[in-house]
Chains A and B, each alone.
Chain A
Amino acid sequence: MTDADTLARIDALQTRYARALDAKDMAGWTGCFGEEASYVCIARENVEQDLPVAIMMDDSLARIRDRVTYIEKVWSGTFEDYQTRHFVQRVGCVARGPLIAVESNFIVAYTNARGRSEILVAGTYEDEIELRDGEARFRAKKAILDTVTTPRYLVYPV
């Protein structure tokens, strides 16, 4: 059972995560993860065929922080920037040992420099969330993209 208090903390984390990405607040994004953490963004086609390659595979907090370095220090000034809006809908939530396994649907809209908006990706999050000192953080966050062929190259995590 997950009580209302726990659900509220989980939803607060999901909201904080979406808000950080949509604000391009990358420190806010890394702050959603615990000390022991992983972030993976992978095409559903690979998941269904047991193929491990992902679009982003940050299987440690070090790699999560390195992704922020890529975005802010390496790629800066070259890519075509875009504005995202994440829409997240929790569809499952169960205790898994000391963690809480949460499944959500998402759609991410994006708007390009000419002001045109489209769907960037749709898919599901499969998350493992830890509660420590009353606050929820991701131990593992996996974004599985139904959008196997993305309509543009992804700069930011989903």
Chain B
Amino acid sequence: MRNDTALDIRWPAKFNEIPKEVFHRPDVFRLELERIFHGPEWHPVAHIAEMPKPGDLKTGYVGETPVLAVHGDDGVVRVFQNSCPHRGTQLKTCARGTADKIECPYHRWTFSNRGELLGAPGMGDFPKDFARENYGLRVLRSAEICGLVFVTLNPETPPLATYLDNTVEHLARAMGGDGRLKLLGYQKVAFATNWKEYSDNEGYHGPLLHAAFRMLRFAQGDGVQFMTPHAHKVNSTTLAVPEPSFIEDGSVVAGLDPRLPPHNIVISLFPVTIITRNLDVISIRYAVPVSPDETEVHYAYFAHQDDNAALTAHRVRQASNLIGPSGFISLEDGAVFNRLHVGARSDGNVAFQKGVRGPIAAPYTLDKGDEAGNLIRWEHYRQAMGFVRD
């Protein structure tokens, strides 16, 4: 069979096998930017809590494309290309900021925070057919759910609610029930890994890789684990954590939020964004595929607007120590991302096993502790990339 692309990737016939070369090849990475990051997918770029007031803005990337989310003085959040419509200069270099107007430094073209071109020096000498309304900031298609702002670079992308399917109620629950959040801060790190290795975590590894899960005697209770047709994964369970005996300060694993008893909620949205609720930590992990060999992850942490001061302080202390790149129960993930990437330089395929009972299709319910659900992500990836099975 011929691939629906010029790339000579040979995709194994076996449903549970993935060719290692997709984790390294620069030509595969270029095609991913085109077919996935510019493809019919939605990408979270900001939560409204990161830009709560008119004039607030946040920069980011969709694949390699620089984007600029701006809270307009009309209350509307728009996502623009972070690039001047004149000569293409990057407009904003800060991670977050506030501005009445957005000025390009190169020729001082100035835009309102709604994106309209307000003025350009020397406009009298522009061609006669120059129309100011054609030179506003380029608005990208965006939509919002629970305060989380998504953008897509593709006109074919289905409506956001269709795309997210039944992840929405879980996204809401993870984000404080209603998305009324307050930003607490960021942890940012570069992993020496491919974005697909970063986003390929599953329930099998949890108590095996992370000694803390065993030492803390984490007991997952009721919950749901499923894959959606757009290859998003929801893993949501209640969590019982006995008072730990081997650490002195048990508050690092306390569940104090009166609105939600202790939970472990992980929502992996295809391709690279992960929204988590671990005990009282509310987090959005934005990821940037920098190159085939590097993925930058920005962990944003939040409180709920109705929290009292004590609960906010608890969330800050828990967010800082529990679940980030240097977190008590999570640090080992980073090690594995990097080690997967080195190991994938060898020949052959990787193979998923736990819970694999033949080909599966979404919607699909997986068992706690299985890795089989990730094969639905891989099938979505394979089809988007145009790779045909042997």
State whether A74 touches B211 (Cβ < 8 A).
yes
Contact with B along A17-52 (1 / 0, CB 8 A): 000000000000000000000000001011001011
Stretch from B195-203, B255-263, B324-332 contacting the other chain = B324-332
| A78 lies within 8 A of B335 (CB) | yes
Q: Is the interface of B mostly helix, strand, loop or mixed?
A: mixed
Can you list, as one digit per residue, whether each of A112-156 has a CB less than 8 Å from chain B (1) or not (0)?
000000000000000000000000000000000000111111110
- Tell me the complex Cα distance, A79–B185, Å: 25
Interface: A5 (CB within 8 A): no
A37 vs B154: C-alpha distance when bound (angstroms): 53
Q: Does any Cβ of A come within 8 Å of B76's Cβ?
A: no
Question: Of B264-272, B314-322, B370-378, which binds chain A?
Answer: B314-322
- Majority-rule SS of A interface residues: loop
What is the CB-to-nearest-CB distance from B344 to chain A, in angstroms, rounded to a whole number? 16
- CB of B192 within 8 Å of the partner chain: yes
Min CB distance, B341 to chain A, in Å?
A: 11
Q: How many residues of A contact B (CB 8 A)?
A: 35
With A150-B188, A152-B192 known, 15 other A-B pairs at CB within 8 A are: A46-B185, A51-B184, A53-B185, A57-B320, A57-B321, A59-B317, A65-B248, A66-B249, A66-B328, A69-B247, A80-B339, A148-B95, A148-B186, A150-B189, A155-B326
Name the contact of B326 in the complex, choosing from A56, A62, A69, A151 (C-beta under 8 A).
Answer: A56
Shortest CB–CB separation between residue A85 and chain B, in angstroms? 20
Question: Within 8 Å CB of B95, what residues of A?
Answer: 45, 148
Residue numbers in B under 8 Å from A152 (CB-CB): 189-192, 334, 338
A58 to B249, CA, bound (A): 10
Cβ distance A116 to chain B, nearest Cβ, rounded Å:
11
CB atoms of B184 and A52 under 8 A apart:
yes
Q: How many residues of B contact A (CB 8 A)?
A: 39
| Shortest Cβ gap from B192 to chain A (Å) | 7
Q: A45-B95, A66-B248, A69-B247 are known contacts. Are A153 and B326 too (CB-CB below 8 A)?
A: yes
A150-B190 in contact given A52-B316, A57-B317, A69-B246 (Cβ < 8 Å): yes
B186 and A155 within 8 A (CB): no
* A45-B50 Cα distance, complex, nearest whole Å: 13
